[in-house]
Structure 1
């Protein structure tokens, strides 16, 4: 039985070392048939980008090894005209997937090392080919002693050296091009890394007479104006396009074949719930990392594999800083509803936090949402979005619970919820007050809407086994209400009305809390629960003023 290829991203190793391979070799044909000079393929992490780029390298690269045998049992081998191009080109191949550093200098040093290693692979150019200035330049890059400007032109110059040596234009493959950019955004050196990457990439990809074709992968399409300025020969194929839509991730039939091969085909329905749900173009796609991990560890049951492979720092930061509207819509998504949003395929990292369409675009292209339907209006893309599967829903729930648990420890958080659901309002008020005081690092104290939505999301996630959570808001009046409806009708039903103190009207916490109770009575929220057969009901008026909170039972 073939080995499960978890973490194997070298194509040759995968083919020769008896690993199971889902045949994506027609990716080579699609690249060759594509008339674009430079192709950017943004896909979520762990969806097979590095393996596919490694396959391109072994297919195109001209060297002393005979790599044609790697493709003899694959789909692409049926196309003689394509196979005639195997091993015919000099290739530059770089992957930046591990460039995740806390400052620009460390990031830059790691990139210098990656470039130097690629130069080392072609050190044969120093044997009676490069002379004078070119030889000196090559050796400086090799020894990591070149200037930043020289590193910025290093790929363009290497493509020239290779093309002249082989009398053939060069293919340039750059995997995970935006990993350093995301690290720069997270760690405060975005401006420096963008400037370097702009010069580095445009040098080799823009108007380069030695370039046969360039292929880049990443997670996001970073906007042209920030990095690909002036690159008119760039084709971008995102997950909304049909081009290449079946080349990353696993198709339904491919997953069925994998499960059958490993004798676990009976788990297909649960596999769909946990790891399916993506739409790339018109294709239903499964998360390959999660599928392979599940196959290897299926006796342990279903669990989130993909969301645990990295820190998800950027997602957490984006959602934490998001406004009231985003948090309310996230609440709807967790409840299984859909939202319709305009998508922005050109993402400027600095603008992710500005405007909800940037947040949702980032989450979609990063693999945290799926498209159900896309409508084009006046050239703009409007997508109906939902959470793709159980695995990603788990991530959102973890992020939401982290908002609480960063402020109060896990034991105290659970005690707060227990106090609420058992009617111990005094204890609930004490712990809830502590949460508000300690949450100042997350939310602007004056923005009670954010407290409200974070709290609602928290109880929605934490109590979803026992309670249905309903919420409404009248934000223009500073009022928000929540109903906790027990699934066991004998348990306590809870109605909460949140009220922000109106300083202009010289309200106090007591007055605001009393008004909240009056609102519950006036709107007769209790009747809905009584109609459901719930007789044990408490009504809570919760008033906010700065870091102070008062909870009054009606």
Structure 2
């Protein structure tokens, strides 16, 4: 059985020691044959570094590493190009001076690999000198590969002034690539985000953006065919549909792909379904944005975004939808064309991301992880047993436990684009996070022939139909359940399982449940 390349950093190590390897070299050939300067945005842990390492070995002429791969017989191995690697993956830059020192040290080390001692003292001039001297000494044009081009900025988004300072330093560096275009054979920049050309690439406007290019949608990540063919010997006992639901689903306008990190760890960890990719990151900044902007969490099921919103962002204009998409917490579900403009529907890529992200948001409200775990376990048992009274007690206790200064207060400013308007959006978010963090199937704004159900939840053959309302203090309750019954929402699911109707009403002053009435589809309890 071949080994899995977990923890292996370079293409050379993988190809020299009998590792499983998905062949992306046909796409590399097309890039080198049809163009010259490229940019690719993909989330973390998607194989961007390995892609650049593979490109580097090809241009360096390491033919022995490509035995059995497409490039073995589709590459000019008689030519060897000098390759410059710039990698910001390691460490965190805390000021502009530190960034410049890191760049200079990196480039000087690159020069020494070719026997060149660089004399310049400013970061952008050091890169310029390195390109000129490599071109002169080798007689070949230079290949420049930049990995995690944006990491110094992303590491400091919570300090906008510092992030802007680092952005300006990087812009100065990348402008050199445009100035030396005639001496360059191939340029490839990768990162998580896509900054606007005005803010970061003003001097490098010749980059071809591959991020949403259908031809290269699978250049990072594994397709379903890749998993079934390359990892066939590991698939014994694996439910392929369950594997797909958990880890596949990332879409950049082509065939959806798996995150490689998830697949490799799934096979390495005795085929346990866990949040492998999610646990390697820290979405606390995104969670704070959700809170600060009163974003209705159920709306993450279906986010509408323009082409401009997806394409770029800058330090001074951080759109939550853009960040969630570029960091991999949302992906493209559909693309729509209206006139000459494109619009996108975004959603979670898979079960791992959906349950883990909503669980993290829920944890931001809970007093402790232990408290959240107790509530969740009891809630699942109540749902599976059809015990709506216990469910009511769990949510009542949870809302009562949220200190006012830790809620999404002031609730009166709750995100107004939410269809569950005002306070209802806040309360619906809590219910939604609880259900999705348990891994349950949840439909938000569930369409019927007579209206939309606020939320539908499916668990172990049972179907829960929920309607939320906010009432004034002392007002009569019961209207939420009455609406479900009057509009016959249950008719959509007749014959598909045991149906429960839940009308949940909240008092905006006490911020808790004042009405929790339920019925089966056959009668009121």
Note whether the superposition's TM-score is higher than 0.5. yes
CA distance in 2, matches of 1:291, 1:195: 37
**Structure 2 length normalisation: TM-score?**
0.79
Residues 1:319 and 2:290 are matched in the alignment: yes
Q: Which moved more, 1:156-165 or 1:517-526?
A: 517-526
Partner of 1:159: 131
The Cα of 1:192 is off from its aligned counterpart by 0.8
The Cα of 1:290 is off from its aligned counterpart by 0.9
- Is contact 2:467–2:481 with CA below 8 Å preserved after alignment? no
- Is contact 1:466–1:488 with CA below 8 Å preserved after alignment? no
The Cα of 1:327 is off from its aligned counterpart by 3.1
Q: 1:265 to 1:38 in 2, by over 3 A?
A: farther
Partner of 2:277: 306
Partner of 1:34: 34
Q: Which moved more, 1:182-191 or 1:194-203?
A: 182-191
SS in 1 for 2:402: helix
Residues 1:279 and 2:279 are matched in the alignment: no
Partner of 2:77: 83
Within the candidate set 201, 212, 216, 1:228 is matched to 201
Within the candidate set 310, 329, 332, 1:371 is matched to 332
**CA deviation profile, 1:480-534 (whole Å, cap 9, x unmatched):** x9789897999999875324xxxxxxxxxxxx22336375588586896999999
Q: 1:494 to 1:453 in 2, by over 3 A?
A: closer
Q: Which moved more, 1:534-543 or 1:150-159?
A: 534-543
- Is contact 1:466–1:487 with CA below 8 Å preserved after alignment? no
CA distance in 2, matches of 1:256, 1:392: 22
SS in 2 for 1:349: coil
The Cα of 1:199 is off from its aligned counterpart by 0.5
The Cα of 1:460 is off from its aligned counterpart by 2.6
Q: 1:430 to 1:305 in 2, by over 3 A?
A: closer
- Taking the TM superposition and a 5 Å limit, the aligned residue runs for 1:378-393 are 378-393=339-354
Residues 1:202 and 2:178 are matched in the alignment: no
The Cα of 1:227 is off from its aligned counterpart by 0.3
- Taking the TM superposition and a 5 Å limit, the aligned residue runs for 1:326-475 are 326-330=296-300, 333=301, 338-344=302-308, 345-350=310-315, 353=318, 358-405=319-366, 407=367, 410-411=370-371, 414=374, 422=389, 432-440=399-407, 442-447=408-413, 452-463=424-435
Q: Which moved more, 1:150-159 or 1:481-490?
A: 481-490
CA distance in 2, matches of 1:175, 1:443: 40
Q: 1:168 to 1:222 in 2, by over 3 A?
A: same
CA distance in 2, matches of 1:92, 1:398: 42
User: Which is greater in Rg?
Assistant: 1
Partner of 2:521: none
- Is contact 1:343–1:360 with CA below 8 Å preserved after alignment? no
SS in 2 for 1:372: strand
The Cα of 1:179 is off from its aligned counterpart by 1.4
- Is contact 2:324–2:330 with CA below 8 Å preserved after alignment? yes
- Is contact 1:96–1:175 with CA below 8 Å preserved after alignment? yes
**CA deviation profile, 1:283-326 (whole Å, cap 9, x unmatched):** 232221111111212x24222211112113444344333444x5
Q: Which moved more, 1:52-61 or 1:517-526?
A: 517-526
SS in 2 for 1:341: strand
- Is contact 1:408–1:435 with CA below 8 Å preserved after alignment? no
Partner of 2:49: 50
- Is contact 2:63–2:72 with CA below 8 Å preserved after alignment? no
Q: Which moved more, 1:267-276 or 1:421-430?
A: 421-430
Within the candidate set 68, 71, 80, 2:63 is matched to 68
CA distance in 2, matches of 1:367, 1:395: 13
Larger helix proportion of the pair: 1
Partner of 1:477: none
- Is contact 2:47–2:221 with CA below 8 Å preserved after alignment? yes
CA distance in 1, matches of 2:504, 2:398: 15
Partner of 2:163: 190
The Cα of 1:535 is off from its aligned counterpart by 12
Q: 1:381 to 1:114 in 2, by over 3 A?
A: same
Q: 1:49 to 1:162 in 2, by over 3 A?
A: same
CA distance in 1, matches of 2:441, 2:11: 48
Q: 1:252 to 1:492 in 2, by over 3 A?
A: closer
RMSD across aligned C-alpha pairs, in angstroms? 4.0
SS in 2 for 1:227: coil
**CA deviation profile, 1:31-66 (whole Å, cap 9, x unmatched):** 21122x4210112221211001011112223xxxx7
CA distance in 1, matches of 2:49, 2:339: 36
Within the candidate set 191, 194, 218, 1:246 is matched to 218
- Is contact 1:205–1:211 with CA below 8 Å preserved after alignment? no
Partner of 2:417: none
Residues paired across the two proteins, number: 491
**CA deviation profile, 1:340-369 (whole Å, cap 9, x unmatched):** 43233432233654xxxx433433333223
- Is contact 2:484–2:501 with CA below 8 Å preserved after alignment? no
Q: 1:484 to 1:60 in 2, by over 3 A?
A: closer
Partner of 1:262: 234
SS in 1 for 2:329: coil
The Cα of 1:216 is off from its aligned counterpart by 0.6
